[in-house]
Amino acid sequence: MKKLMIGNEGVARGMYEAGMKFISSYPGTPSTEITEFASKFDEIYSEWAPNEKVACESAFGASLRGVRAACAMKHVGLNVAADPLFTLSYTGVNGGLVICVADDPAMHSSQNEQDSRHYAIASKIPMLEPSDSQEAKDFTKLAFDLSEEYDTPVLLRMCTRISHSQSIVELGERKEIPVPAYERDPKKFIMTPANAIVRHPIVEERTKKFIEFAEKTPINRVDEGGKDIGIICAGTCYQYVKEVLGDSVSVLKLGMVNPLPIQKIKGFAATVKRLIVVEELDGVIETHCKCLGLEVEGKNLFSPLGEYNQETIREVFNKEIEKLDVKLPEIPVRPPVMCAGCPHRGLYYELVKNKVTVLGDIGCYTLGAAPPLNALDSTLCMGASVSGLHGFNKAGGEETESKSACVIGDSTFMHSGITGLVNVAYNGSNSTVIVLDNSITGMTGHQQNPLTGYNIKGDPAGKVDLEALCKAIGINRVTVVDPYDLKACGKAIKEEIAAKEPSVIISRRPCVLLKYVKANPPLKVNEDKCVGCRSCMKLGCPAISIRDDKAVIDNTLCVGCEVCSQLCGPKAIEKEAE
Partner 1 sequence: MKTTNVMIVGVGGQGSLLASKILGRLLVDEGFDVKVSEVHGMSQRGGSVVTYVRFGDKVYSPVIVDGEADVIVSFEKLEAARYIKCLRKDGRIIVNSQQIDPMPVITGAAEYPEDVLEVIKKAGVQVDDIDALELARQAGSVKAVNIVLMGRLAKYFDISYDKWLEAVEKCVDPKFLEMNKKAFDIGYNS
Told to check if 243 binds partner 1 by CB under 8 A, we report yes
| Cα separation, 506 vs 161, whole angstroms | 37
Nearer to partner 1, 419 or 545 (CB): 545
Binding mask 167-186 for partner 1 (x = CB under 8 A): xx------------------
Name which position in 61, 267, 336, 397 contacts partner 1 (CB under 8 A).
Answer: 336
| Start-to-end C-alpha separation, the chain | 57
Task: State the DSSP code for 297.
Answer: B
Name which position in 87, 427, 546, 575 contacts partner 1 (CB under 8 A).
Answer: 546
Shortest distance in whole angstroms from residue 40 CB to partner 1: 17
| Cα separation, 467 vs 463, whole angstroms | 12
Nearer to partner 1, 242 or 509 (CB): 242
Shortest distance in whole angstroms from residue 195 CB to partner 1: 42
Query: Are 98 and 31 in contact, with CB atoms under 8 Å apart?
Result: no
Told to check if 318 binds partner 1 by CB under 8 A, we report no
Told to check if 1 binds partner 1 by CB under 8 A, we report no
Near partner 1 in 9-48, by CB under 8 A: 29-30, 33
Shortest distance in whole angstroms from residue 444 CB to partner 1: 7
Q: Is the dihedral of CA 238, 242, 244, 245 positive or negative?
A: positive
Told to check if 159 binds partner 1 by CB under 8 A, we report no
Query: What's the CA dihedral at 282, 288, 290, 292 to 10 degrees?
Result: 180
**Number of chain positions touching partner 1 (CB under 8 A):** 58
Task: State the DSSP code for 274.
Answer: E
Task: State the DSSP code for 460.
Answer: B
Name which position in 177, 337, 380, 488 contacts partner 1 (CB under 8 A).
Answer: 337
Angle among Cα 24, 56, 258 to the nearest 5 degrees reads 115
**Treating both helix axes as pointing N-terminal to C-terminal, what angle do 263-271 and 193-216 enclose, rounded to 10 degrees?**
30
| Cα separation, 87 vs 249, whole angstroms | 41
Name which position in 185, 247, 311, 465 contacts partner 1 (CB under 8 A).
Answer: 311
Nearer to partner 1, 7 or 19 (CB): 7
Name which position in 184, 273, 327, 355 contacts partner 1 (CB under 8 A).
Answer: 327
Told to check if 334 binds partner 1 by CB under 8 A, we report yes
Told to check if 445 binds partner 1 by CB under 8 A, we report yes
Shortest distance in whole angstroms from residue 132 CB to partner 1: 8
The enclosing H or E element of 236 equals: helix 235-245
Burial of residue 187 (number of CB atoms within 10 Å: 0-12, 13-18, 19+): exposed
Query: Are 286 and 231 in contact, with CB atoms under 8 Å apart?
Result: no
Told to check if 515 binds partner 1 by CB under 8 A, we report no
Binding site for partner 1 (CB under 8 A): 2-4, 29-30, 33, 108-109, 132, 160-161, 164-168, 236, 239-240, 242-243, 309-311, 321-339, 364, 367, 370-372, 443-445, 537, 540, 542, 544-546, 556
